[in-house]
Amino acid sequence: MVKILQRALPSESCSLSATLHPVLQRIYHARGLIRNSDLKLELSQMLPVSRMKGVTQAAELLYETMQKETPILIVGDYDADGATSTALAMLALRACGAKEVSYLVPNRFEFGYGLTPEIVESAAARSPGLIVTVDNGISSLSGVERAGELGISVLVTDHHLPAEQLPSAAVIVNPNQPGDPFPSKHLAGVGVIFYVMAALVNLLRAADWFNQRDLREPNPADWLDLVALGTVSDLVPLDRNNRVLVAQGLRRIRAGRCRPGILALLEVAKRSPAGVVASDIGFALGPRLNAAGRLDDMGLGIECLLTGSEQAAWRMAQELDRLNLARRSIEQAMKSQAEQALEQLHLQAEGELPAGLCLYDESWHQGVVGILASRIKEQYHRPVIAFAEGGEGILKGSARSINGLHMRDLLERIDTRFPGMILRFGGHAMAAGMSLSAEAFPRFKHAFEQQAAERLEPAMLEGVVLTDGELAPSDLNLTLAQVLRDGGPWGQGFPEPLFEGYFHLRRQRVVGESHLKLQLAADEGGWTIDAIAFNQPPVPDRTNRVRLAYRLDVNDYRGLKSPQLIVEYIQSTP
């Protein structure tokens, strides 16, 4: 059973401007914004570049490499954060006049994640003077060591949580490394490399580099479209600094001042650049970009972001759209298989599921298990690890957690108690990746279920939907819908406004195979409003009154705008 609860307001009094819509004022207050200064998202509010540990040394290392004119190789990751990080590093270094810059993204099916010794061997064929990792590297101890043996310096830029031992890189830039005073610990990988490249521009300007070479000095703000795309797609918490970065990136996209690839992705997703918001990135752009790394090669996504040609961008965006459709089909089949397995498990457990769900099927696709884990977690309100074949007797797993359980810490605990059982792991509180031998799966499954049960109280396994309370029927209008849409950026850690209320169900019909189109009324004889519930089964026929958790949004159909409810949860009521 899912509980619908109202979000509590902070104890601090609110002094936000009275000119704000009272509903928006209430929503901001519930998210800890209590002063007008909290609402300022100008670029001047961004945390200073100089506050991040290692960023000055990273800029100096890049400067020295550029002076020697030795090749620089970017080693990225195969998700949207990795793709945007790689593209930003490439564009920035080229704009700064680096003579030879290239990139290498490990294919997840051949090499796995990060700067492995095998990737270093492959990279060495290009004779780089410097390897720069983006969105990875903090756990690549053996890879960095191998690079050192081959005489290649490594600059690690990452945002993932480090282990006790750090790699022996020339420089490490990661706001989560020990001793880093940078106040924001939630930068995505693309945010970290943005800070590094901004520091490089500052250093080159001070050295008169651009004038001496007759180069136009790049403006780091021009890369914020990529920062917004990667930050929202990676689901990092939108703290104040990330909200500044995302807001500024969105402003540039709305003005058309962004990469042709981003405009092309918006076009294939049928989104207008002029009205784009963070949720468009999260639901439309991010999945299409991620599809390349999940099913094929992330090089397609990176090239889409790098190209300056509108025609080339359009062709690649169409191919990414095709891959995303294929990914959705694979995901749906895998989800059905997982649900069947859980139903059987439910019977065997006499009505109770384990506190943690550990799932594996030899037919599952390695590139989609992360999405599968997310879907199962949302449905059953439990931490989930989904595994797929990784080749040569290895299983690759993707983990998703719930509030109250730090996934990486749990994996570290298992690794400490059972040394060698987990071959490799890394990640965050809410998401992690790992690999283990196929023969170890039963033992790991037992250990994971046991550790989850020890750390989770029964109440933590109940689904909770936090809302911003009820809206008066008079507030269900286009004006407030637009105010809320413009009041973001909303996202992880700064959730989009969600309301609750009782409605009379006038009509319902299934659209697009699995979505529910509803016509609702606030009272028996009142006006109606349209709503849509994605991936929801029909409400039982005899139900004429429902309790909803919903978002108030703007429906723009062929230029005609109207208010619409996006339903997140439905409860039938007597």
What's the pLDDT at 524?
65
What's the pLDDT at 215?
96
Give the model's confidence band at 10: pLDDT under 50 very low, under 70 low, under 90 confident, else very high.
confident
Give the model's confidence band at 313: pLDDT under 50 very low, under 70 low, under 90 confident, else very high.
very high
For residue range 137-147, what is the model confidence (pLDDT) as tens digits? Answer: 998 999 999 99
Q: Which of 371, 229, 247 is CA-nearest to residue 302? A: 229
Q: Residue 59, Cα to own-chain centre: how many angstroms?
A: 27
Distance between start and end Cα atoms, the chain? 16
pTM of the model: 0.88
d(CA 536, CA 448) in angstroms, rounded, equals: 30
Judged against a pLDDT cut of 80, whether residue 274 lies above it is answered with yes
Q: Are 223 and 82 in contact (CB under 8 A)?
A: no
What's the pLDDT at 312?
97
d(CA 290, CA 81) in angstroms, rounded, equals: 9
Q: Which of 195-209, 339-353, 552-566 has the highest mean pLDDT?
A: 195-209
Q: What percent of the chain has pLDDT over 70?
A: 96
Q: Which of 402, 365, 411 is CA-nearest to residue 384? A: 402
Q: Which of 43, 488, 1, 386 is CA-nearest to residue 227? A: 43
d(CA 174, CA 506) in angstroms, rounded, equals: 53
Q: Are 86 and 78 in contact (CB under 8 A)?
A: no
d(CA 106, CA 320) in angstroms, rounded, equals: 18
For residue range 352-402, what is the model confidence (pLDDT) as tens digits? Answer: 788 999 999 888 888 778 888 888 898 888 999 999 998 889 999 999 999
Which whole number is the average pLDDT over 67-75? 96
What's the pLDDT at 348?
52
Pairing mode, strands 101-104 and 72-75:
parallel
Q: Name the more confident of 131 and 349.
A: 131
d(CA 392, CA 529) in angstroms, rounded, equals: 55
Which whole number is the average pLDDT over 228-237? 93
Which whole number is the average pLDDT over 261-275? 94
Token readout for 175 is 């706001």
What's the pLDDT at 8?
87
Pick the range with the lowest mean pLDDT from 53-62, 319-328, 432-441, 442-451: 319-328
Q: Residue 37, Cα to own-chain centre: how many angstroms?
A: 27
Domains annotated for the chain, with CATH where assigned, are 2-9+21-30+468-572 (2.40.50.460), 52-321 (3.90.1640.30), 353-462 (3.10.310.30)
